[in-house]
Structure 1
């Protein structure tokens, strides 16, 4: 077992369109960006959307494809997420597209997606990430996954985001996978990330003291001089005192094509590493903080590292059982909701609980059964 315990078709868009109109009418201008007065996203979050709880909660992390979806497809995906009993949807709040030019904000698509999530009765988790060109470090000027040159400028954007949406959402994640070069260019830097985390945390808490602020979910990686192992990254954050600036730690325990409880993977598995990371947190005085999993899952398809739909479902159930058996593991988000494409040879297109045509894979029913029993 994976516990210690031991390590172990689209519907009409009329409803959504009406919601967007009603939302735009109720926000007070003080909460909206000066460039888009009178617009906002959804209605107030309920008690499930913030704080720590021992109740097992499962969400979805659809990735960037959700923002690219048409209204019809967005509505259909969220219908199916709600029907599976998912409590939350993780949404990119992409600084690089919202503020392409400094001081000029375009919230249109972000408002649309957040409104749809709440209209379906789910809590949005906002990932505040990715750097517009004007704010990047010179060494990574050509990539939005550059780290911000000035952490206070990033924190100012985070404050603007939370000010805009504070009546509608209260779960925030500070960046995505800062321990790997793919998301923190020119290379991972614990000190630089920790400084940015502190600045953003303080800015968010000034606006929304009761919010839940997560550290950026760490990716599976090895210490190879470029990327950093999540355990090493977390230990360094504690040495720097950065743990004071997150309400919950956050990691992405992918193990595919192996199952999360495969004993042969213990030396490198991020899933098995949850327990040593928990030990680091307890030793650092944070026994009361949870570890959230804002991405987990496995790709189906024909790629060499893909798995069958049965193994995908089994992988997800193993992680959900760990959530059920360990109160210190917090809300956990399956990546992803719907396949990003139809090329079975590309693993990135095949992480969905749903195929591209919205038909469910085996894992969808397993999640629905779990949430029906425990949520």
Structure 2
């Protein structure tokens, strides 16, 4: 995605109040595994109000050192980082974009020549020395496998050389912070090199030891739990479910190295004419975004530690432009429905400074993030597990629920003393506060059943049964999904 700098920094708004904010919804707790891009102090405040404990900020080398040796730390980026720190947030700083003197080209997507890589590293070292208190994660470059930030050829060896020298320059100046690898981009495009191929090449060429975190950016072409494959039949790097493949790939070369998603999200552009990787309604954006975090917490604990959204505020007012409609707030700063929906994935009693939630010091084992559970009001079965109506006894055996890779499997047995049966399986959607029917089954006799369905952030399963001669459900069982067995 474009690394744009807002023309002027907005003044710092009032401090975040962890109660009920001006937006009219609860702001208690944070999204401990969340982050979001912010381009101004105003956006930092909106990000904090939405519950994000991390913000990502971008700047360009050509702005820092427009002429060789002319070091000019960008005041706007510093101000945004300071605003984040004033609110107690954690920060990531991405530095990309070569000046012409370093690459030989007027376009900033050309990397520096090999002779000028030490100059890039030295600039980052100076910046780290000056801004150490403001930055928790330093990210040299962005999307080196994508034309927008790295003109062809996408040379993994040249990128690794930049990463190694930048890492070596930053670490002595800011040893308490982490230095991530540049995010590879996973979205399918003719303008990029496949993320898996590029990442594997980078490790083969020596990336290990020069990155505290490995990162990927992608814009899903599927629902959060959806699956897809790339041209080689592998799990596609533009699907959240494929993070398990990335985990296995990284572990081949760098076991246990933290993985973060540096950019993702669903655009709300309508009748898009520009750069459309995905397009959903505002209601779908709210639903899908919440489900992304629920999916990470249920299926990707120990796989992927953090998800950064792109971005806080729409970058423009044209509703048809995909690039300009990524925000969780409209361009006029009014919230989209996703802002209220994100309250569902906040964790109470967490703040950006809570141990294990943020901060610069890496932890060996990520702290598990709680998964929302079934409300008590929904957990009450509407009928007993065993009942007799009109002389027909109906019983539902213990319900076994397992979940794996975004698919929920329900197994149970339904018994009847005689006659045919009707069985319904429901799943509970927490954000909509309702049970949703996922399967209706007709049985000729007592039988064991197995039902599989795509997990959409469900927190409970309900099985209901009745004789076909009766209209009311006479037997039921309810199971909380977080308590189910994960296979």
TM-score range, shorter chain: 0.7 to 0.9
Deviations 1:310-360 (A, max 9, x none): 222233223212332312312221100000111011111100000011111
Question: Distance in 1 between the 2:106 and 2:41 partners?
Answer: 34
Question: Distance in 2 between the 1:290 and 1:14 partners?
Answer: 32
Secondary structure of the corresponding residue to residue 263 of structure 1: coil
Gaps of 5+ in 1: 1-11, 17-54, 67-73
1:13-92 matches, within 5 Å, as 13=11, 56-62=32-38, 66=39, 74-92=40-58
- Give the Å deviation of 1:188: 1.1
User: Is this contact kept in 2: 1:84–1:371, CA < 8 A?
Assistant: no
User: Is this contact kept in 2: 1:147–1:184, CA < 8 A?
Assistant: yes
Match of 1:254 in 2: 219
User: Is this contact kept in 2: 1:94–1:128, CA < 8 A?
Assistant: yes
Deviations 1:20-47 (A, max 9, x none): xxxxxxxxxxxxxxxxxxxxxxxxxxxx
Deviations 1:174-218 (A, max 9, x none): 211111111101331100001110111111112122321111111
Match of 1:330 in 2: 305
Correspondent of 1:318 among 291, 294, 303: 291
Gaps of 5+ in 2: 1-9, 15-30, 351-487
Correspondent of 1:346 among 303, 314, 321: 321
1:358 is the counterpart of 2:323: no
1:149-164 matches, within 5 Å, as 149=113, 150-164=116-130
- Give the Å deviation of 1:221: 4.6
User: Is this contact kept in 2: 1:221–1:228, CA < 8 A?
Assistant: no
Question: Distance in 1 between the 2:187 and 2:308 partners?
Answer: 19
Count the aligned residue pairs. 310
Match of 2:261 in 1: 293
Question: Distance in 2 between the 1:14 and 1:158 partners?
Answer: 27
Correspondent of 1:274 among 243, 246, 270: 243
Match of 1:119 in 2: 86
Answer 1 or 2: higher relative contact order, Cα 8 Å, separation at least 6. 1
Structure 1 residues 98, 86: CA separation in 2 closer, same or farther (over 3 Å shift)? same
Match of 1:40 in 2: none
User: Is this contact kept in 1: 2:143–2:183, CA < 8 A?
Assistant: yes
Match of 2:141 in 1: 175
- Give the Å deviation of 1:164: 0.8
Question: Distance in 2 between the 1:269 and 1:318 partners?
Answer: 18
Structure 1 residues 217, 287: CA separation in 2 closer, same or farther (over 3 Å shift)? same
Correspondent of 2:166 among 173, 188, 200: 200
User: Is this contact kept in 2: 1:191–1:240, CA < 8 A?
Assistant: yes
Correspondent of 1:104 among 66, 70, 75: 70
Q: Which has the higher helix share?
A: 1
Structure 1 residues 145, 351: CA separation in 2 closer, same or farther (over 3 Å shift)? same
**Normalising by structure 2, what TM-score?**
0.60
Structure 1 residues 269, 193: CA separation in 2 closer, same or farther (over 3 Å shift)? closer
Question: Distance in 2 between the 1:336 and 1:161 partners?
Answer: 25
Identify the range of structure 1 (243-252 vs 108-117) with the bigger mean alpha-carbon deviation.
Answer: 108-117
Question: Distance in 2 between the 1:111 and 1:77 partners?
Answer: 14
- Give the Å deviation of 1:269: 4.4
- Give the Å deviation of 1:262: 2.0
- Give the Å deviation of 1:241: 2.1
Question: Distance in 1 between the 2:65 and 2:282 partners?
Answer: 39
Q: Which has the higher strand share?
A: 2
Match of 1:283 in 2: 252
- Give the Å deviation of 1:373: 4.7
Structure 1 residues 264, 171: CA separation in 2 closer, same or farther (over 3 Å shift)? closer
